[in-house]
Amino acid sequence: MKKLSKRIVKLLSKKKLKISFAESCTGGLLSSTITSINGSSKVFTLGLVTYSNQSKINILKIPKRVITKHGAVSYETCLSMVKNLNKISKTNISVSITGVAGPKGGTKKKPMGLVFIGIKKGSKTLVKKYLFKNKNRNSIQKSTVNKAHKMILNLI
């Protein structure tokens, strides 16, 4: 993870780009991996941990009907999170994460390990769905951050 974080900070710095994160199931782990790198203050603007539905609604201004209709762990919520984070942070790149890290909280429709990662750069917005099977909470969080790192690198 450290190697990817260093590459991200280096590339963002080189291209003079700013990045922001809105995390749910990773609880700030993505922000932590970036801020652990020397020089990250030049590129990292904002990291929000919007863990509860209430914080998604109040801070990220996710319409309550989106969460009610689709759930907190959904393509629609993740998309709303990344778009609204981008408006709030005014960064070049915004990343949102929502998912079920477990061990409880999963359902048949939304099992433990289901994660959505959203990324927005300029007019380009992408939301990807992942299912990390046979993993515990900690490894789901780490796998999610790893995927987010790769998505960021692909977009820079």
CATH of the domain at 30: 3.90.950.20
How many residues in total does the chain contain?
156
CA distance 116 to 140: 12
CA distance 79 to 101: 19
Over the stretch 99-133, which tens digit does the pLDDT of each residue have? 999 888 888 899 999 999 999 999 999 999 999 98
Domain that holds residue 123: 2-155
Over the stretch 38-68, which tens digit does the pLDDT of each residue have? 999 999 999 999 999 999 999 999 999 999 9
Question: What backbone phi and psi angles, to 5 degrees, belong to 81?
Answer: -60, -50
Over the stretch 64-90, which tens digit does the pLDDT of each residue have? 999 999 999 999 999 999 999 999 999
Averaged pLDDT score across all residues of the chain = 96
Domain total in the chain: 1
CA distance 82 to 121: 10
